[in-house]
């Protein structure tokens, strides 16, 4: 857990050892389980990295980056990725611990093999029917996911170059981390994008000729904006039409242009012209404020924490101790709001 702790604080081995005045080989051997960590060094690590001693005795598995699907730009540095992965692993461990006492809805997310079952568009249409989502826009995608047993976390990636990540816990609990800095429309599409990874990619064989990011975008776009319904309202794709569609579907104008081009509602040149118009108005960086979409707020984890307090009698300090976190870390990584959950009564 020393590696997890130092990476979550953004330290390399050499940086940590220099700060503590110890040989890098010592930490390297401890992290590779070749030698034991002395009590004196453990106390130093606990104090410097601000994790309780109990944190370093945890034995939960740490998920490697190879099983994680990011919606990100390739310019993100390795150090920042390692820090984000470490923090998400720590939160994931906390979620698993909290769920030992709380009964949340079982995940109803089906699996979809694109090679055998059909395109991402078909997968999105199937999921809307499977979850009995009415026609028209999805008012709150986060609420639907939580109702169907998927944990959504607003997460500070400390950069705008990481949009989201998704994975399953050891016990099969799906979790989506979405960048808390994203505007509301982009956040909705990122969440739908991550549902695609959970449903179509994670744990399934992927042939080399497939582009999972393109598939995830197609799925997310179709889930939020069914093409048949969009086409029924189509007249001419100009900025006015895009603005009206954004108000209704609650997705970005840019994503609607991409969808229009993909579905041959407009030509490649028409798409370039629309993007050029948006760039000239500054809309590529930030779409009009009057068209802003409010960020959706997850409530499931917040409600679980409240249940620990109200039904199980835990204090905030006791919950933090249960998760092997300092109060500062617990308060910075977890939030609060009510949701319809109940306690598991265990004999």
Most confident of 84-88, 136-140, 302-306: 136-140
Q: Is there a single domain that holds both residue 256 and residue 135?
A: yes
Residue 129 lies in a domain: yes
Percent of residues, the chain, with pLDDT higher than 90: 72
Q: Is there a single domain that holds both residue 282 and residue 133?
A: yes
Query: Cα separation of 242 and 234, whole Å?
Result: 10
Q: Is there a single domain that holds both residue 281 and residue 176?
A: yes
Q: Is there a single domain that holds both residue 170 and residue 54?
A: no
pLDDT score of 75: 64
Task: Answer yes or no: is pLDDT of 50 > 70.
Answer: yes
Which domain range does residue 255 map to? 114-291
Confidence label for 317 from pLDDT (cuts 50, 70 and 90):
very high
Task: Answer yes or no: is pLDDT of 15 > 60.
Answer: yes
Strand 342-343 to 174-179 pairing: unpaired
- The residue that leads in pLDDT, 203 or 86, is 86
The stretch 299-315 carries a mean pLDDT of 92
Task: Answer yes or no: is pLDDT of 347 > 60.
Answer: no
Would you tell me how many other CB atoms lie within 10 Å of the CB of residue 280? 9
Classified as helix, coil or strand, 168 is: strand
Q: Is there a single domain that holds both residue 125 and residue 262?
A: yes
- pTM confidence score: 0.88
pLDDT tens readout for residues 224-276: 999 999 999 898 999 999 999 999 999 999 999 999 999 999 999 999 999 99
Residue 223 lies in a domain: yes
Query: Cα separation of 287 and 337, whole Å?
Result: 30
Residue 333 lies in a domain: no
The answer to whether residues 181 and 155 touch, using CB atoms and an 8 Å cutoff, is: no
Q: Is there a single domain that holds both residue 287 and residue 142?
A: yes
Q: How many residues does the chain have?
A: 347
pLDDT score of 339: 43
Task: Answer yes or no: is pLDDT of 335 > 80.
Answer: no
Residue 103 lies in a domain: no
Confidence label for 68 from pLDDT (cuts 50, 70 and 90):
low
Query: Cα separation of 8 and 17, whole Å?
Result: 15
Enumerate the β-bridge partners of residue 175: 151, 167
pLDDT tens readout for residues 95-116: 999 999 888 888 899 999 999 9
- The residue that leads in pLDDT, 343 or 102, is 102
pLDDT score of 342: 52
Q: Is there a single domain that holds both residue 50 and residue 120?
A: no
The stretch 13-33 carries a mean pLDDT of 93
Residue 169 lies in a domain: yes
Residue 72 lies in a domain: no
Beta strands in 66-208 (DSSP E): 69-72, 102-103, 151-155, 162-168, 174-179
pLDDT score of 318: 95
CATH of the domain at 33: 1.10.260.40
Which of 173, 133, 172 minimizes the C-alpha distance to 150? 173
pLDDT score of 83: 92
Q: What residues have CB less than 8 Å from 176, skipping those under 6 apart?
A: 145, 150, 151, 152, 153, 164, 165, 166, 191, 194, 195, 198
- Structural domains counted in the chain: 2
Task: Answer yes or no: is pLDDT of 64 > 80.
Answer: no
pLDDT score of 188: 97
Residue 107 lies in a domain: no
DSSP 251-278: S-HHHHHHHHHHTTSS-HHHHHHHHHHH
Residue 7 lies in a domain: yes
Q: Is there a single domain that holds both residue 277 and residue 137?
A: yes
CA 243 to each of CA 7, 86, 196, 254, 315: distance values in angstroms, whole numbers, following the listed order: 43, 39, 26, 10, 47
Task: Answer yes or no: is pLDDT of 69 > 60.
Answer: no
pLDDT score of 65: 58
Confidence label for 340 from pLDDT (cuts 50, 70 and 90):
very low
Confidence label for 16 from pLDDT (cuts 50, 70 and 90):
very high
pLDDT score of 56: 94
Where does a domain end: 291, 312, 336?
Answer: 291
What average pLDDT does the structure give for the chain? Answer: 90
Q: Is there a single domain that holds both residue 122 and residue 193?
A: yes
Q: Which two tokens stand for residue 148?
A: 């169907």
pLDDT score of 25: 94
Q: Is there a single domain that holds both residue 40 and residue 182?
A: no
Query: Cα separation of 71 and 88, whole Å?
Result: 15
Percent of residues, the chain, with pLDDT higher than 70: 93
Q: Is there a single domain that holds both residue 199 and residue 279?
A: yes
Confidence label for 185 from pLDDT (cuts 50, 70 and 90):
very high
Q: Is there a single domain that holds both residue 55 and residue 124?
A: no
């Amino acid at each position: 857990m020393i590696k997890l702790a130092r990476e979550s604080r953004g330290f390399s081995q050499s940086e940590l050892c220099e700060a503590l005045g110890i040989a890098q080989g010592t930490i390297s051997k401890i992290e590779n389980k070749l030698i034991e960590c002395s009590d004196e060094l453990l106390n130093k690590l606990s104090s410097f990295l601000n994790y309780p001693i109990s944190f370093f005795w945890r034995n939960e598995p740490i998920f490697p980056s190879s099983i994680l699907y990011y919606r990100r730009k390739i310019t993100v540095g390795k150090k920042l990725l390692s820090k984000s992965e470490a923090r998400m692993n720590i939160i994931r461990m906390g979620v698993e611990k909290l769920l030992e006492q709380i009964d949340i809805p079982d995940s109803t997310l089906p699996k979809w093999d694109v090679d055998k079952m059909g395109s991402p568009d078909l997968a999105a249409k199937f999921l809307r029917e499977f979850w009995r989502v009415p026609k028209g826009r999805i008012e709150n995608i986060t609420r639907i996911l939580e109702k169907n047993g998927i944990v959504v976390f607003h997460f500070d990636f400390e950069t705008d170059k990481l949009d989201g990540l998704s994975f399953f816990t050891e016990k099969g609990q799906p979790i989506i981390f979405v960048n808390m800095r994203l505007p509301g429309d982009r956040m909705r599409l990122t969440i739908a994008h991550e549902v695609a990874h959970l449903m179509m990619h994670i744990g399934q064989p992927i042939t080399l000729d497939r582009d999972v990011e393109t598939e995830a975008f197609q799925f997310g776009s179709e889930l939020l904006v069914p093409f048949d319904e969009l086409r029924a309202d189509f007249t001419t794709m100009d900025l006015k039409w895009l603005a009206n569609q954004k108000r209704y579907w609650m997705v970005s104008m840019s994503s609607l242009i991409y969808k229009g081009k993909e579905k041959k509602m407009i030509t490649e040149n028409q798409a370039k012209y629309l993007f050029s118009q948006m760039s000239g108005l500054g809309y590529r960086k930030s779409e009009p404020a009057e068209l802003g979409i409010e960020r959706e707020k997850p409530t499931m984890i917040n409600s679980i924490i409240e249940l620990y307090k109200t039904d199980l009698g835990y204090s905030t300090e006791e919950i933090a101790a249960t998760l092997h976190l300092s109060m500062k870390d617990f308060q910075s990584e977890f939030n609060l709001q009510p949701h319809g959950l109940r306690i598991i009564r265990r004999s």
